[in-house]
Amino acid sequence: MSFADLGLSDDLLRAVTDAGYTEPTPIQRQAIPSVLMGKDLIGIAQTGTGKTAAFVLPMIDVLGEGRTRALMPRSLILEPTRELAAQVAENFEKYGVNHKLSMALLIGGVQMGDQVKALEKGVDVLIATPGRLMDLYGRGKILLTGCSLLVIDEADRMLDMGFIPDIEEICTKLPKVRQTLLFSATMPPPIKKLADRFLSDPKTIEVARPASTNTNITQRIVQVSATAHVKRDVLRRLLQQDEVSNAIIFCNRKTTVRDLNKSLKKHGFRSAEIHGDMDQSARIAELDRFKNGDVNILVASDVAARGIDVKGVSHVFNFDAPWHPDDYVHRIGRTGRGGATGTAYTLVTPEDAENIAEIEKLTGHKIERVPSPVAVDGAEDAPAPKRTRGGKRDTKKAAPRREEAAAEAPAKPRSRRAAPAREEAPAAPAPREESRARPQRDERPVREERPVRDDRRRRRDQDDGPDEGWNGPIPDFLNYVIEG
């Protein structure tokens, strides 16, 4: 089964081929023909399954068959976060190269001016977060009466974030006769209700959750005391001892994100931070620094837990155990992507016991407990030893992710077997002697002992199709219109 068998146009197939993909993922196989036929669709799937391409590809063809110069937007894609909206826009740009389609990315945190200008010129596709869309609509800047194709992406997350009333309102502004696609990782009752109300005779497709038990992510728990400095100490040891080429570290609070990033930088790590209190340009800039390898550590709030798709993340650390088991699944799903292996550590304090139990219940998988790398008798949170920076610089090598890959892109033809990242991405891996998460010092602390690394559960089968990470450049939000 190839993309050519799905009924896509030659122009589109060329774009897909040029991007290096030939074999559709399961959700793409099932969704694309149905979308092309104009049917409503419920897709139970989360990021990491090729979901985005499953609607972007057929949408491009559907829109391409209509008039090429839109007087008013003909389609609308709703995303819960700005970052996800941007990733979808990237996909449109990439697969739409051979089509004369224009789009506008309508998200908060950036000036409205350029978005308004784009709308006035006329676009085919709106990619939006609900808040900014409603805002622009309220100002009379958007006509939704021509939007006969609607995509509601990550519906369960929209629910979590309280967007459902907005979604309902937006739906009522759209033409009654339209095609609606709804994607959601789970189907809680409110989402079912939403689907019943706004979709007609939908086809339902479901693909396996990528981050259930049998994946290529090695999960570990490290018991720690609740003290912040002890947790930071443990984290630093883990960053140094393991083969960490790059890592996302999740915290539960924005203040913790800031404090931890500050502390890591003080200790010589190359880290960046992302959370919702930062303005959009700063968020983009930090994410970009992580994606292009300027830094190899990203300290993040749950703004980055879902959907954010960076190729080649070797480790996820939960500095705080997440409150909700779903968040755990999403967080650790930032690693082990694209068929690579990944490792997820969770620092667990005695108070977290209940949450961990919930996580293990959800995943049906008992997470391995490993001993803390910090001696119980009290390694202190000692300041970084002052020393001169004469040693080797490894910043260049920390920018390993060169190869193209699209978020949610169709799978490359390759073995379904999970392979170590270093075999498929020759630029990415670090020699194990030079774990790049190490502080930029030429020596490591004297008392650090490297534990014997054994029993790493690598090369396990995964039951999902491989998926590709996204590593494209960050779109220029201030001026984001693709002209046809």
The smaller minimum CB distance to DNA, of residues 93 and 166, is found at 166
The smaller minimum CB distance to DNA, of residues 276 and 420, is found at 276
Q: Which two tokens stand for residue 46?
A: 């989360």
d(CA 270, CA 398): 10
Shortest separation between residue 84's beta carbon and DNA, angstroms:
9
The smaller minimum CB distance to DNA, of residues 161 and 481, is found at 161
d(CA 189, CA 281): 36
Dihedral (CA of 384, 385, 389, 390) sign: negative
Shortest separation between residue 35's beta carbon and DNA, angstroms:
25
Closest CA relative to residue 15, chosen from 100, 101, 95? 95
Other CB atoms within 10 Å distance of the CB of residue 159? 19
Q: Residue 254, CB half-sphere, CA atoms under 13 Å: how many? A: 7
171 in Cβ contact with 201 (< 8 Å): no
Q: Which two tokens stand for residue 372?
A: 């803390």
Pinpoint the alpha helices (H) of 350-464. Answer: 353-363, 421-424
Shortest separation between residue 281's beta carbon and DNA, angstroms:
12
Q: Which two tokens stand for residue 287?
A: 């994410």
The smaller minimum CB distance to DNA, of residues 95 and 470, is found at 470
The smaller minimum CB distance to DNA, of residues 35 and 284, is found at 284
d(CA 176, CA 164): 18
* Residue whose pair of structure tokens reads 């009654």 in the numeric block: 176
The smaller minimum CB distance to DNA, of residues 124 and 326, is found at 326
Shortest separation between residue 477's beta carbon and DNA, angstroms:
11
Shortest separation between residue 64's beta carbon and DNA, angstroms:
28
Shortest separation between residue 206's beta carbon and DNA, angstroms:
25
Shortest separation between residue 202's beta carbon and DNA, angstroms:
26
104 in Cβ contact with 302 (< 8 Å): no
Which residues make up the interface to DNA (CB under 7 A)?
Answer: 80-83, 107-109, 112, 129-135, 138, 160-163, 252-255, 275-277, 301-303, 323-324, 327
The smaller minimum CB distance to DNA, of residues 225 and 252, is found at 252
